[in-house]
A and B are shown apart, each in its own frame.
Chain A
């Protein structure tokens, strides 16, 4: 379930640091997961190909990419620069789909 940036309606405990998340303040919520502070967000996407970190802190688009608002799998620099990067990504992403009829 994707985390959504919302204005917290009810006070709760952050699933990352355990401290209180105040009502009326911005935070992140996911159904079935709980709430967390914006500052507690792990600011790094996963690489859909190798499964490792996508390298967001050093990404060439770090200044313009709003990590909480993009789909949560990207491609790391090494996988992205390697030959056949797109095909490897598509193959990895297709594994998540249920089998067709």
Chain B
């Protein structure tokens, strides 16, 4: 199990850092009644916003209705999820609390109308509402900030993080040298979750000795470590430790899987997982929703459990040479014929040329000059 899960605080009193912010949030919920402004918690990741919300809800006996970045938060969806709660006050018989995580990320096509709907709900909430956001400086946060009581969470001081980490290492029976401890704390920059993940990786707490340097594993070592991991936690730690661009990570998995020679059914599963990761990355880049990057590893995890070693997808040089030569012939032909059809070379090559070759073979088209070379 990941240390960040095993050592998650069981109560608000068990958390580290942001003492005043936690106290303010607790006081808000303890005194909540209809008409009280919603609570907006802002601050960097890993400082305890989500944990505080869920622990406070448990402390005061609320069930949590949550919306986070992985949900589509359009106007219709927000109404569909929150409507029954706001009308009746509860859908389970117990008092309910609405928690909107990553409220600063409600934008884009899939969240169309969501921000305006949320701002309207915030004006007169019928149940306690807590919102969490990393960044409150954007203009779209203005109506939300205006409607809410704001509590700021800040990075946890390094020495305090170290005291907590020493406690975790003692409970785990693990050890880090003084230099490694300082490096873990300082590289985490006040993010408790990042500190525990990095410490687990360096201490080999999952039984997987990645030997990762402080900056992470290169993509080849990371892929090898992932497929060699004995359990899901080790695989997850290896994935997390790969310090590479997400596209490079996906390409490394693709080439390694393709070159592995695994059975067709396994190959299909793996390629499906990699394809889904690639589609997700495309959507992240298109919408600039970088917070969804954390879910990329979840897709790649589905390839686990096969015998794969890192390999770059290299064709034999004879085949590579032939492909290049053929491509040059195609380019030359397309460069000559595409302007005659008033289409781009790309369109000509993908849509027109196959038809042209077929018609030439059928005898329904007079062969253009040079097409015989392309017909093999």
Chain B residues whose CB sits within 8 angstroms of the CB of A54 once the complex forms? 157, 159
Minimum CB–CB distance from A12 to chain B (whole Å) comes to: 21
Residues A53-101 near B (CB distance < 8 A): 54, 59-61, 64-66, 69-75, 77, 80, 85-86, 89-90, 93-94, 96-98, 100-101
B59 close to A101 (CB less than 8 A)? yes
Bound together, the chains give a CA A101 to CA B12 distance in angstroms of 14
Chain A residues whose CB sits within 8 angstroms of the CB of B14 once the complex forms? 90
Bound together, the chains give a CA A91 to CA B40 distance in angstroms of 26
Minimum CB–CB distance from B173 to chain A (whole Å) comes to: 17
| Residue B338 interfacial (CB < 8 Å) | no
Tell me whether A71 and B19 are in contact in the complex, defined as CB-CB below 8 angstroms, given that A60-B182, A61-B182 are known contacts: yes
A2 close to B13 (CB less than 8 A)? no
B26 close to A45 (CB less than 8 A)? no
B152 close to A61 (CB less than 8 A)? no
Bound together, the chains give a CA A61 to CA B30 distance in angstroms of 37
Chain B residues whose CB sits within 8 angstroms of the CB of A35 once the complex forms? none
- Interface residue count for B (Cβ, 8 Å)? 37
B159 close to A74 (CB less than 8 A)? yes
The DSSP consensus for interface residues of chain B is helix
Q: Would you list 27 pairs from A and B whose C-beta atoms are within 8 A, ordered by A residue?
A: A45-B157, A54-B159, A61-B182, A65-B158, A70-B155, A70-B157, A70-B190, A71-B20, A71-B47, A71-B156, A71-B157, A72-B154, A73-B19, A73-B160, A77-B159, A80-B159, A86-B164, A86-B167, A89-B16, A93-B15, A96-B23, A97-B23, A98-B26, A98-B30, A100-B59, A100-B60, A101-B60
Other-chain residue from B20, B155, B163 in contact with A80 (beta carbon distance below 8 A): B163
- Interface residue count for A (Cβ, 8 Å)? 31
Q: Which 10 A-B pairs have the closest CB atoms?
A: A61-B158, A94-B13, A74-B157, A96-B23, A71-B154, A86-B167, A71-B18, A70-B157, A93-B19, A71-B17
| Residue B21 interfacial (CB < 8 Å) | yes
A86 close to B30 (CB less than 8 A)? no
Bound together, the chains give a CA A89 to CA B30 distance in angstroms of 23
Minimum CB–CB distance from B46 to chain A (whole Å) comes to: 12
Number of A-B residue pairs, CB cutoff 8 Å, is: 101
| Residue B111 interfacial (CB < 8 Å) | no
Other-chain residue from A59, A71, A86, A100 in contact with B21 (beta carbon distance below 8 A): A71
Bound together, the chains give a CA A44 to CA B81 distance in angstroms of 46
| Residue B22 interfacial (CB < 8 Å) | yes
Minimum CB–CB distance from A72 to chain B (whole Å) comes to: 7
Minimum CB–CB distance from B33 to chain A (whole Å) comes to: 14
B16 close to A98 (CB less than 8 A)? no
Please give me the residue from chain A that is nearest to B187 by CB atom.
A64
| Residue B298 interfacial (CB < 8 Å) | no
